[in-house]
A and B are shown apart, each in its own frame.
Chain A
Amino acid sequence: MSASTEQIDDILEKKYDAGFVTDIEEEYAPPGLSEDIVAFISNKKQEPEWLLEWRLKAYRRWLEMKEPTWAKVSYPKIDYQEMCYYAAPKTNEDAPKSLDEVDPELLATYEKLGIPLHEREILAGVAVDAVFDSVSVATTFRDKLAEVGVIFMPFSEAVKEHPELIRKYLGSVVPVSDNFFSALNSAVFSDGSVVYVPKGVRCPMELSTYFRINAANTGQFERTLIVADEGSYVSYLEGCTAPMRDENQLHAAVVELVAHKDAQIKYSTVQNWYPGDENGKGGIFNFVTKRGLCEGARSKISWTQVETGSAITWKYPSCILRGDDSIGEFYSVALSNHRQQADTGTKMIHLGKNTRSTIISKGISAGHGHQTYRGGVKISRGATNARNYTQCDSLLIGDKCAAHTVPYVDVRNSSSKLEHEATTSRIGEDQLFYCRQRGLSEEDAVSLIVNGFAKQVLKELPMEFAVEAQKLLGVSLEGAVG
Chain B
Amino acid sequence: MTERLETRFEALKKEGRAGLVTFITAGDPNPETSLEILNGLPGAGADIIELGMPFSDPMADGPAIQLSSQRALNNGASMIRTLDMVNSFRERDDATPIILMGYFNPIYRYGPQRFLDDAISIGVDGLIIVDLPPEEDDELCHACLTAGLNWIRLTTPASDNNRISSVLRNSSGFVYHVAITGITGTRSAEIGELEATVKRIRTQTSLPIAVGFGVRSQSQVRDIGRFADAVVVGSALVNTVKSALEKKLTKRQIASKVHDFVTELATGLR
Does A pair with B?
no
What residues of chain B have their CB less than 8 Å away from a CB belonging to chain A? none
